[in-house]
Chain A
Amino acid sequence: MNKALLFGMASLFLGACASERVVLLPSADGAPGAVVIRDKAGEIRLDQPYAAVKRTLDSNRVYQSSPQEVSERYGPTLAVLPQRPNAYILYFETGGNVLTAESTVALKALRTEIAERPASEVLVIGHTDRVGSVDGNDKLSLKRAELIRGVLIESGVDAGKLETIGRGERDPLVPTADEVDEPRNRRVEINVR
């Protein structure tokens, strides 16, 4: 057997050994999801929990994986998936900058979570309803967020962990027509990750 042929067989063997695999997992919130895998041969869509594809040089094999296989193959990987982000919503008493009683309780839980999460980061997002102009609402929502930022810093949260933004009227909790007064949209959302 000549050297070139031997080398050719060796690369073929390596090629056959190299493989890739994708397994779709059930989503934490139960919402349906899908992954589309594109390669030279075409497109494979996985849209059921534990649907999987094993790809080698010359074949794509779609199969149904299982929680057992996932835990055996990917246990160490999934064990270090970071803790899910969590969101809090704080409301003010009407016409002022005093938190409602419920929100005061939520603030305490929020502070505990910020302190306990490893390397926690906090995004403070102010929101408005759709009364007034987009520009005006951007400013107002930022003011609301900055107010909460102040409350958090005062209660001992490291300012370096905080990012403060005003999302204005873009992201309503309750979608409404323009110029509708909707108290549930006048809020500050705090995302801890």
Chain B
Amino acid sequence: MIKVSKGAVSIERDGKKLAADVGAPVQVADRVRTGADGAVGVTLRDNTLLSAGPNSLIVIDKFAYDSVTQDGKMSVGVRKGTLAVASGRIAKRTPESVDFHTPTSILGVRGTEFVIEVEGEGDE
């Protein structure tokens, strides 16, 4: 769910552009886009915290989490811009089920916090 939203932020879902206001849900396959003055903070159900800075395009490729067993998986792509991550329960329990990716690399996570930046013309 979106917890912080500043400036131009939108969610692209099924070809539609939706407002990314605080409280809006974020779903699998959503593309979260920020403009030059935009920034957005998202908390996922496993307590993963994500934030994207200006001119970013982030894609939630996979997310599943069973809050009873705490099993799950996630895969998040940074097409351009910046993404900060504070990893959550899935990364703690089964780090091999979590990845972040850029146009040219895949990141594996061992329960931690980091920033990914993709500069250049990459978009779609």
Say whether chain B's binding surface is mostly helix, strand, loop, or mixed.
strand
CA A40 to CA B2, docked complex, whole Å? 34
Q: Which of B5, B68, B108, B114 contacts A24 (CB 8 A)?
A: B114
**Known contacts being A19-B119, A22-B114, A78-B51, is A35 close to B109, with CB within 8 Å?**
yes
Flag if A85 contacts B110 (CB, 8 Å). Answer: no
Report A24 CB to chain B, min CB distance, Å.
Answer: 5
Instruction: State the Cβ distance, A149 to closest chain B Cβ, in Å.
Output: 14
Interface pick from A68-76, A88-96, A101-109, A175-183: A68-76
Closest chain A CB from B104 CB (angstroms): 6
Residue of B nearest to A51 (CB): B114
Report whether over half of chain A's contact residues are helix, strand or loop; otherwise say mixed.
mixed
**What is the bound-complex CA distance between A182 and B64, given in angstroms?**
32
- Most chain A CB within 10 A, of B1, B69, B103, B115, is at B115
Does A27 lie at the interface of the complex (its beta carbon under 8 Å from any beta carbon of B)? Answer: yes
Question: Would you call A81 and B84 a contact (CB within 8 A)?
Answer: yes
- How many chain B residues touch A (CB < 8 A): the figure is 50
Is B47's CB under 8 angstroms from A85's CB? Answer: yes
Is A77 in contact with B115, judged by CB distance below 8 angstroms?
Answer: yes
Contact check, B110 vs A166: say whether CB atoms are below 8 A apart. no
Known contacts being A37-B107, A81-B84, A170-B69, is A24 close to B112, with CB within 8 Å? yes
Interfacial residues, chain A to chain B (CB-CB below 8 A) = 14, 17-28, 31, 33-40, 46-47, 55, 70, 73-74, 76-85, 117-119, 121, 123, 125, 163, 165-167, 170-171, 191, 193
